[in-house]
Amino acid sequence: MKAGFVNIFGKPNAGKSTLLNALVGEKLAIVSPKVQTTRHRIKGILTTDAYQIILSDTPGIIPEARYKLHERMMGAVKGALEDADVAVLLLDVQDNWEENDLLFGSLRLKVPSVLVLNKTDRVPPAKLEEAIAFFRDKSYAKKIVSLSALTQTGIPDLLAAVTDLLPEGEPFFAEDELTDLPEKFFVAELVREKIFQYLQDEIPYEATVLVQEFKHKSTLIKIGAVIVVQRESQKAIILGEGGRMIKKIGSEARAEIEKFLQSKVFLELFVKVRPKWRENDLLLREYGY
Ligand code: GDP
Ligand code: MG
């Protein structure tokens, strides 16, 4: 069995959403609120007897920044990709190859990646061959797959390439846990969004939010979430003077969560210091594996 996190990255319009839909289909596609700032935005989970692929995408690239990404955005993208087990680097084969090469190369990824040439339905075979030749020797293109996300040709090739690079391991999520996962994840994302809004610099990127309690009561939903940081100093900043910062994050996040869940919510936030946490390990533990 192979299992792991797979993150899809590419410029706007490369076809990320279309590819995610092609991969997970309507059934498991999770509709995300407009959160651009998160490490893993889980979009779907593909489970078979042979593998579990947990698909997410990266924070959006500011379109006007093009490939000269704002440093911090680039940090977030790189962070998200390196938290994954496999990165899928997607480009529209009709787009500028050099520009995409610069973008992908500048990530200097340490995780294995698959280069995906999308929209093959739009170019003649000779052009596609030329593109494959252009990317063949690039360090981030260990494997190259060409496909059309729109017409859904070449999807099995991508799954084979990704599965080949996935680590051996048991599934992270049981099939029957999938139903309330989206809600839990989005609640965590909404808390994270507030952390991004109010705290600067490295804190948002080094903090993760785990929803540990999610209980439907008669008049409200009781949610307990823990914000995990790496250092005591970060904990102090998140708490704020006299606990004012965490109160602000909590009350604003609660308002958003209530809108999202369409229910009254009681939200309890805790902060925990865990040096060098790995998000995947925490997720594993949270879901009881
Ligand atoms: P994203 O910005 O990376 O999420 O890109 P989208 O998935 O929204 O796709 C951008 C546009 O490209 C949309 O109009 C899609 O229909 C189109 N598109 C995506 N994949 C393909 C493909 O394989 N072939 C063609 N012809 N169009 C595609
Ligand atoms: Mg999209």
- 286 vs 268, higher pLDDT: 268
Residue 149 has pLDDT above 60, yes or no: yes
With 0-12 / 13-18 / 19 or more C-beta atoms within 10 angstroms meaning exposed / middle / buried, residue 187 is buried
The mean pLDDT of 63-71, rounded to a whole number, is 49
Per-domain residue ranges of the chain: 2-165, 183-286
Tell me which of 19, 150, 152, 155 to substitute to probe ligand 1's pocket, judged by most ligand atoms within 8 Å of the beta carbon: 150
Q: Over the stretch 9-56, which tens digit does the pLDDT of each residue have?
A: 998 889 988 898 888 764 333 333 333 333 455 667 788 899 989 887
Distance from residue 27's CA to the centre of ligand 2 (Å) = 18
The mean pLDDT of 69-89, rounded to a whole number, is 75
Q: Specify the pTM.
A: 0.65
Residue 57: name the closest of 7, 131, 21 by CA.
Answer: 7
Residues 6 or more apart whose CB falls under 8 angstroms from that of 71 comprise none
- 195 vs 174, higher pLDDT: 195
d(CA 210, CA 11) in angstroms, rounded, equals: 29
d(CA 132, CA 145) in angstroms, rounded, equals: 9
Tell me which of 8, 9, 11, 13 to substitute to probe ligand 1's pocket, judged by most ligand atoms within 8 Å of the beta carbon: 13
Atom number of ligand 1 nearest to Cα 148: 23
Q: Which CATH architecture has domain 2-165?
A: 3-Layer(aba) Sandwich (3.40)
Following CA atoms 184, 186, 189, 190 in sequence, which dihedral angle do they give, to the nearest 10 degrees? Answer: -110
Distance from residue 246's CA to the centre of ligand 2 (Å) = 32
Residue 136 has pLDDT above 70, yes or no: yes
| 205, 47 Cβ separation under 8 angstroms | no
Residue 62 has pLDDT above 70, yes or no: no
Q: Which CATH architecture has domain 183-286?
A: 2-Layer Sandwich (3.30)
pLDDT computed for residue 67 by the predictor: 45
| 144, 132 Cβ separation under 8 angstroms | yes
